[in-house]
């Protein structure tokens, strides 16, 4: 095979993974942006955090924990739902509502986002 043909085949082979990564990044960006826009309280290890602090924390986990997820669903399950330090589940409380598990909240946000795309 000629070099151009090999390059084309390589690009073709990498294209689906690149597209999947782009979709995953957009979905996780949406999750993090929704945390900030929600004005909900993020509860981590028994302490309350404002939306911006929650986004900062989850962004740090996203950057440091890339080996633990390859989809937005795995990001939620492996990083955004519980403390890797204590193992305690995160919770989110919006307004006067009872706190709910962060996994449940993020799953709903992701499902709504996907249905709108």
- Which candidate, 82, 110, 84, 99, places its Cα nearest to that of 48? 99
Contact between 25 and 59 under an 8 Å Cβ cutoff? The reply is: no
In a domain, 14, yes or no: no
In a domain, 66, yes or no: yes
pLDDT for position 95: 93
In a domain, 19, yes or no: no
pLDDT for position 10: 46
In a domain, 50, yes or no: yes
In a domain, 29, yes or no: no
Distance of CA 56 to the CA centre of its chain: 12
In a domain, 72, yes or no: yes
pLDDT for position 7: 55
The tens place of each residue's pLDDT in the chain, 117 residues long, gives: 567 655 554 444 555 557 678 999 999 999 999 999 998 999 999 999 999 999 999 999 999 999 999 999 999 999 999 999 999 999 999 999 999 999 999 999 999 999 999
Q: Which domain holds residue 63?
A: 40-117
In a domain, 8, yes or no: no
pLDDT for position 12: 45
Considering the entire predicted model, what is its pTM?
0.83
Classify each residue of 54-89 as buried b or exposed e, where b means 16 or more C-beta atoms within 10 Å of its C-beta: bbebbeebbeeeeeebebbeebbbbbbbbeeeeeee
In a domain, 27, yes or no: no
Count of the separate structural domains present in the chain? 1
Return the bridge partners of 47, or none.
44
Instruction: State phi, psi for 55 to the nearest 5 degrees.
Output: -60, -45
């Amino acid at each position: 095979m000629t070099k151009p043909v090999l390059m084309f085949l390589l690009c073709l082979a990498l294209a689906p993974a690149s597209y999947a990564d782009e979709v995953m990044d957009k979905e996780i960006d949406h999750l993090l942006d929704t945390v900030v826009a929600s004005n909900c309280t993020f509860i981590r290890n028994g302490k309350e955090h404002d939306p911006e602090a929650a986004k900062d924390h989850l962004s740090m986990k996203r950057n440091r924990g890339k080996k633990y997820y390859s989809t937005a669903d795995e990001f939620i399950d492996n990083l955004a739902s519980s403390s890797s330090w204590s193992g305690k589940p995160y919770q989110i409380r919006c307004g006067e509502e009872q706190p709910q598990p962060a996994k449940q909240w993020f799953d709903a946000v992701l499902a709504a986002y996907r249905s709108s795309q």
